[in-house]
Amino acid sequence: MVRVCGSDGLQKVLPHLSAVVIESVQRSEEGVVLRTRSRTSSARCPRCEERSLRVHGRYERRLRDVPLGGVPVVIVLLIRRFKCLAADCPAVTFAEQIPGLTGPHARYTPVLRGQLSRIAEVLAGRPGARLAGRLGMTVAKDTLLRLLRAVPLQSPEPVRVLGIDEFALLKGHTYATVLVDLEARRPIDVLPGREAEPVARWLADHPEVQIVCRDRATAYAEAAKQAAPQAVQVADVWHLWSNLAKAAEKTVAAHYGCLRSAHEAAAVANEPNPPPVPDGFLDVHGRTRRIVATIRERHRAVHKLRAAGRSLCGISRDLDLDYYSVRRYARTENVEELLVKVTQRRTKLDDYKPYIYRRFTEGCHNARQLFREVRDQGFPGERTAVRRYVRLLREGMVTTPPLPALPKPRRALRWIMTHPERLRPDEAVGIKEIRAACPELDATVDHVRAFAGLMHEHRGEDLPAWIASVDQDDLPHLSQFANGLLHDLDAVTAGLSSSWSSVQVEGQVTRVKLLKRAGYGRAKLDLLRTRILLRT
């Protein structure tokens, strides 16, 4: 035990203990134990506010404090119970409270309580309790949840631009609504359910809202129309683009037979084929590549020595090869398995070989000209690679490059929905084949790109013209999507014209799902709401 009576050393290290006298410091099994008492000789009655000097009795009170060097700290405080001297006071006796250190029924100091509350804000129950234990603060998970629920939430500032979206508490059964201040980029409230009534009540209490960004759910549209008629409703462009993609996918699936027929016709037109000689086994002069001959010779030598009873280490020394290379040769019965990795390595030229072969069959045998053409298409390699491939073509040592596989509807949809400048050369060729397959697919690509132009250039006023152009073509799925926009035309037009959208709200919903799943879906809405609003 260390006596520190009359010393202010620990008060300098622990300023929240300035109102008490530390009589002793002791190290025990539960950590560092500080025995303290109040510095004052009197206390004020909490009922009548009269000060009393008459001590009625004493008892010890134990408080947990922030750890020192990772070691838990326990404060044993000698509390005096005073007798109230006011005749009309209902309190006969009262216990003294140390300002900044104790409170009624408190078991933690305010400093420790604040740290535990911050841990609870981030990790909540069990994870927070595990972390606190590692840091020297023993606490139960239920205590952390109780501290978390007791954290006061600040009232939101006036909101001008509001984002609304739903998230599932139990998918398909229970939902909630998150409200986001898009200018402050933070959630401001969480409402139960996804019906119009709770949102309408909230909007009625916040008449300062000028813009409401939402998805195309009718409940939120009705709530905004009813309770915030002064606000401009903005439909989310991400959902518009997603709905357009679904309509385009149905169109591609409906005309997939046209795409298959065009692909089969191209395969027939790809004949005749040169002699089927794998070009990966030969060099530019038609001779067997040196590495191919080396692999065959080493494989034969390793298996010959292995059959003679030599160990792998002995073979490694005899042939001056790495042990693991010898083991790979010994474990491979068929040498062709080793040659595949050497002769069929993917190169930068692979995506452009079909084009070079087609141009070669058309009569263009100039390697320099072919290099310029593929370079303009995005080929990142050197002219030497093109020259070697053209030499193999001249000598008839290359098979016809196989046509790309028929794209699945989802892959074809991805090409259609991608900006033309972001397509790879092979994808650009694929989109040309899609457009050439049938007029309906060609029109679908045009309509999708036109709608993308409305989005990126904020030309919402041109939406009626786009809808009219879609209706002129025989595209029932796209027409259904376009006609659906007419039911929410003002909000869709505002979404295509405004820079505000619900994209930020979708990000907040993703974060909300992380918090929900961190609680294994067992957190009640009040606790989840507190975590959502505090984690901003």
Which domain CATH number covers 215? 3.30.420.10
490 and 516 housed in the same domain: no
Q: What is the mean pLDDT of residues 491-512?
A: 86
Residue 431 lies in domain: 239-266+406-497
Confidence band (pLDDT; 50, 70, 90) for 1? very low
Q: What is the pLDDT of residue 427?
A: 82
Counting the structural domains of the chain, the total is 4
The answer to whether residue 186 sits within a structural domain is yes
pLDDT value of position 273 = 47
Q: What is the pLDDT of residues 288-338, one digit of tens each?
A: 567 777 888 888 999 999 999 999 999 999 898 899 989 988 988 887 777
User: What is the average pLDDT across 430-446?
Assistant: 88
Residue 130 counted as domain residue: no
410 and 262 within one domain: yes
Same domain, 293 and 385: yes
In a domain, 112, yes or no: no
- Write a three-state SS string for 129-177: HHHHHHCCCCCCHHHHHHHHHHCCCCCCCCCCEEEEEEEEEECCCEEEE
Same domain? 191 vs 217: yes
- 261 plus 410 within the same structural domain: yes
- Arithmetic mean of pLDDT, 43-63: 87
How sure is the predictor about 2, in pLDDT bands with cuts at 50, 70 and 90?
A: very low
What pLDDT, in 10s, does the model give residues 338-383? 776 665 566 778 778 888 888 888 888 898 998 998 888 888 888 8
Residues 174-193 have a mean pLDDT of: 89
- The beta-carbon contacts of 485-492 under 8 Å, at least 24 apart in sequence, are 485/240, 488/216, 488/221, 488/235, 489/463, 489/464, 490/233, 491/214, 491/216, 491/221, 491/233, 491/234, 491/235, 492/235, 492/240, 492/460, 492/463
Mean pLDDT of the chain, nearest integer = 83
If you count DSSP H runs as helices and E runs as strands, how many of each does the chain have, helices first? Answer: 23, 13
Q: How confident is the model at residue 10 (pLDDT cuts 50, 70, 90)?
A: low
User: Angle at Cα 301 formed by Cα 298 and Cα 302, nearest 5°?
Assistant: 85
**Within this chain, do residues 180 and 192 fall inside the same structural domain, yes or no?**
yes
Residue 453 lies in a domain: yes
Tell me what pLDDT residue 397 has.
58
Q: Which residues contact 95 (CB under 8 A, 6 or more apart)?
A: 79, 80, 81, 82
HSE toward the beta carbon, residue 378, CA cutoff 13 A? 12
Instruction: Say if residue 417 is in the same domain as residue 484.
Output: yes
Task: Name the domain boundary from 394, 423, 454.
Answer: 394
Kindly state whether residues 167 and 75 are assigned to the same domain.
no
* 143: in domain: no
- 128, part of any domain: no
Name, in order, each residue with C-beta under 8 angstroms of 495's C-beta and a sequence gap of 6 or more: 234, 235, 236, 237, 240, 460, 501
